[in-house]
């Protein structure tokens, strides 16, 4: 029997992961976004309700990342169908945790299942990227790809896009602190240098290669010393109040390293046990609170599943 409605969860993600600007990311178990899609029997796509967004996201289907991604998918396969869409944002907008990517991924994943299109995740990827473009004003997949595929992802190239799923130590834990401020991805990208010195590029490539090698060989010391970003973090750190204090709190409590998640303001830290990850998260949050901000923490292993059908 064909489905009439579907509800999907798509996870948050950490992108860049230090030196992997626009080319590395991994999915989290939480937080994430939920989208419910219902066949309405007509021909229009309508966003019926958005919750958890503090009333800031657009209901216009040409401006919302979820519906832009869905429209891209339906247009390519010449599908005309009416859909009612309910979006439940379960993470902060502009948090640096791939909020717009999660909505785009949830949308195309749900439509693929609802209409029984049987498209591969690779076939869904281009449409999720199209949705993400609305928020970031750039083509990048380091949130979309891990959210869609799950696990730890390397985007080797964009023309054509080449996704490599990396092995990693299964006892790797991530602590996330999310200071309650918004940083728009397009603004965080605008402050970056368009050109970098050769010496800087070499150092960045070395760290990116070292991080991949450390993950594959389960060498925690190599992972630790490779999570250094010479391109984005020096610029974006100025956008995050208490950046230095958060980083110091993580390192002094045993983190392998600490860095900005995506465009920020969220920051992540790796460790190798749940207890240590929780301790690190609490310490990072204390730094946020001491700086006069509200915040929240998440502790998660890397999510291997990506999006899932809830009902």
- Just list the catalytic residues: 132, 185
Q: Cis before residue 239, ω within 30 degrees of 0?
A: no
Best CA proximity match to 21, nearest among 301, 279, 236: 236
Neighbours of 305 (CB within 10 A): 12
Say how far apart CA 150 and CA 10 lie, in whole Å.
10
* Count of positions (residues) in the chain: 311
Say how far apart CA 310 and CA 292 lie, in whole Å.
37
At 198 the three-state DSSP class reads: helix
How would you label 259-289 residue by residue, b for 16+ Cβ within 10 Å and e otherwise? bbbbbbbbbbbbbbeeebbebbbebbbebbe
Q: Helices (H), strands (E): how many in the chain?
A: 10, 11
The residues near 134 (Cβ < 8 Å, ≥ 6 apart) are: 63, 64, 65, 68, 100
Best CA proximity match to 38, nearest among 73, 4, 80, 75: 4
How many angstroms separate the Cα of 27 from the Cα of each of 10, 116, 173? 9, 25, 12
Triad 9, 12, 17: Cα angle to 5°: 150
Say how far apart CA 43 and CA 55 lie, in whole Å.
26
């Amino acid at each position: 029997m064909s489905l009439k409605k579907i509800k999907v969860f798509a996870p948050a993600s950490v992108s860049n992961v230090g030196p992997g600007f626009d080319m590395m990311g991994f999915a989290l178990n939480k937080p994430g976004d939920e989208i419910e899609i219902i066949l309405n029997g007509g021909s229009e796509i309508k966003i019926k309700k958005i919750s958890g967004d503090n009333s800031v996201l657009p209901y216009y289907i040409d401006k919302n990342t979820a519906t832009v991604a869905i429209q891209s998918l339906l247009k390519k396969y010449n599908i005309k169908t009416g859909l009612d869409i309910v979006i439940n944002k379960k993470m902060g907008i502009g948090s640096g945790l791939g909020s717009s990517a999660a909505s785009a991924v949830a949308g195309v994943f749900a439509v693929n299942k609802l209409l029984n299109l049987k498209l591969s995740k690779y076939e869904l990827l281009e449409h999720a990227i199209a949705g993400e473009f609305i928020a970031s004003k750039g083509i990048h997949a380091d949130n979309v790809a891990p959210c869609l595929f799950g696990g730890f992802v390397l985007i080797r190239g964009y023309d054509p896009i080449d996704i490599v799923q990396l092995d990693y130590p299964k006892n790797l834990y991530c602590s996330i602190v999310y200071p309650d401020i918004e940083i728009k991805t397009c603004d965080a990208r605008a402050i970056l240098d368009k050109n970098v010195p050769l010496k800087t590029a070499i150092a960045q490539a070395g760290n990116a290669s070292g991080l991949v090698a450390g993950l594959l060989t389960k060498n925690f010391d190599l992972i630790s010393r490779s999570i250094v970003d010479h391109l984005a973090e020096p610029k974006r750190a100025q956008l995050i109040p208490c950046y230095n204090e958060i980083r110091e709190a993580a390192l002094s409590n045993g983190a392998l390293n600490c860095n900005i998640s995506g465009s920020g303001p969220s920051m992540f830290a790796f460790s190798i046990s749940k207890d240590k990850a929780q301790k690190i998260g609490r310490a990072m949050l204390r730094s946020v609170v001491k700086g006069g901000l509200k915040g929240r923490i998440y502790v998660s292993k890397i999510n291997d599943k990506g999006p899932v059908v809830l009902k």
